[in-house]
Structure formats: structure tokens, C-alpha cells
Amino acid sequence: MVSLAENIIAYANYLKKQYNLSLSYHFRTDISAQLGSLGYTRLLSLSKHTNPYCMHIKLSKNLSKKCIECQQKVIAKCAFLDRFTGVCHAGVLEYVYGIKYKNKVFGFISVSGFRGESNKSFRDKKLQEVFEKSLSPSPVPKEFLDMVVPPLAFMLAMLCRELENIKPKDSMANEEKNNFQLILHYVRERYNNVCLEDIACEFNYSKSYISHMFKKVSGYSLSQYCNMLKIEDAKELLKNTNYSITDIAHAVGFGDFSYFIKVFKQQTGKTPLKWKKSAGSKL
């Protein structure tokens, strides 16, 4: 029998591929941690914006921090509104649908990738070019979104309700696992520019403890894990944009082009250009 989580992933991917929607969902920290603890990693992989402009924004710690703060404000707003439209701090128009049940908010779905009416937030010429090039000037009709997105929000809410009935085992091993999931949530929101020192400061652990726990629980070092997420972003850009390989390397957070090629080949077995050809680019 197909699980609820598998149905959610299948439907979300269908909306992305069939209608070219830039769709993501964002959970409360505790919900995200519990999903990770229970092994819903494929579902969590969809919890990020994948348009090139947002990737560029998250290369900056300050701008990335603003994105995270905005997400928390959106979750709070979902307590009063089931769905609404707004422009984020970076000038991106977003359609928001709350993931909630009986006024309990678990998170929200964002359909984004559209230019806001005005974008006066930044003066960086390169960032402005990416804004104009990668964001659509034509939003999807809201009537259409109101028809196809709420079923996804409902399924996600039902999954989150199921999580509430799962009581964690009271053990030191489980406590360490839960702590790791909170750290992993923190990293997933900041993987373009996070470091051990940031995590140690946030969670009041030593850098050596964070490094040891990350390797012990995930099997990867922090840098290896972040590189995995960056390469996934690179694949999205390779499939869906006509960006040069150099621009893609920079957009996902690799300052060294040669290192990007090396990491990409280690993870995929192919160079970015060969991977793009074999994946069947949409362009």
C-alpha cells in the first residue's frame, strides 16, 4: 500500500513537472525535526525554494537570515488566514497556503518564483539581473492554485497529525537523535553558508561535539552534507535553466569552480555538462 508520505511526494512532484510550479513547503522547527527523526528525508528534500534568484539570496548570511525570519512570520500569519498572497523581503511574489488542522498550524506551502510589483530591496547589479532573468513576470492564476494546492496542504496536515500520536522513546540515544534533527533542520535552512561555529553558537555545544555527532548520526561531515544539498540545487539549475556551469557553481555556493566540478563528479559520476545532457534538460 502506498503511504501518505509517498502520495504527498508524488503529488508535489506532479504539480512541479506538469505545471512548472516553483513549489515548496516549510514546517515548524519541531515538525521538521520529527519528520527527520522518523525518516521522512525525501519529503523534507522538497522544503526549499529552487529558483535561481532565491539560491542567490541565500548565499548571503544576512539575506538568508531575513528569509528564515519571514518564514516564521508567515507561519504565525497562517494561524489567522488559510491562504494569502504577499511579496517577500527580496521582492518575490508568493502564494501561501497554510498546513493546518482545526487552527493548529504545522507550516505552509509556498508557490513562488514570480516578480513582485516592485523590487527596491537590493542595489546589487548581479542580483537584479538574476531577479529579472529567473523570476516570471506572469503569476499563475490564483483560481487554478486554489484548486490544486489545498489537497496537498490537506495531506501534509494529516501527516503532521499522525506525528502527534507518535511518542518518542525516553532514552539517551533517542535524545541525541532528536538533538541532531534540530541541528539538521538548522543546517537545511542555511547550507549555502553555514559553518560549525554557527551551529555550536546556536545550540551551545562545542564545535568538536557538533562535528562528532554529525558524522556519527549522518555518516557525513558537515561540509560533505552541505555539498550534497548544493549539488541537488545544481541539478535543478542544470535541468531548468540555461545558466553556464560557472554561474551555476556560484549560484549554489561554490566559490571554486574546479572544486565544484570535482564534487559534482564524485556525487553523480559525471561532469555537470554530461549530466545535463543525460538528464534531458527542459531547455
d(CA 94, CA 23): 10
- List the domain range (segments joined by +) for residue 268: 224-279
Same-domain check for residues 39 and 122: yes
Same-domain check for residues 12 and 104: yes
E-assigned strand segments in 16-133: 22-27, 83-87, 92-101, 104-115
Q: Based on the number of CB atoms within 10 Å of its own CB, is 239 exposed (0-12), middle (13-18) or buried (19 or more)?
A: middle
Residue 145: predicted pLDDT: 96
The answer to whether 109 and 99 are in contact (CB under 8 A) is yes
Same-domain check for residues 17 and 157: yes
What confidence tens digit (pLDDT) does each residue in 148-176 have? 999 999 999 999 998 877 765 554 456 67
146, 164, 182 - which closes a domain = 164
What confidence tens digit (pLDDT) does each residue in 228-243 have? 999 999 998 898 888 8
Average pLDDT rounded to a whole number, residues 114-123: 66
Same-domain check for residues 19 and 109: yes
Residue 119: predicted pLDDT: 53
What confidence tens digit (pLDDT) does each residue in 132-149 have? 888 888 888 999 999 999
Q: CATH number of the domain that 26 lies in? A: 3.30.450
Residue 118: predicted pLDDT: 52
Q: How far is CA 227 from the centre of its chain?
A: 14
Confidence of residue 58 (pLDDT cuts 50, 70, 90): confident
Q: CATH number of the domain that 254 lies in? A: 1.10.10.60
Number of structural domains found in the chain: 3
Same-domain check for residues 19 and 114: yes
Residue 83: predicted pLDDT: 96
Phi/psi of residue 114, each to 5°?
-115, 145
Q: Based on the number of CB atoms within 10 Å of its own CB, is 229 exposed (0-12), middle (13-18) or buried (19 or more)?
A: middle
Same-domain check for residues 97 and 149: yes
CB count in 10 Å sphere of residue 102? 6
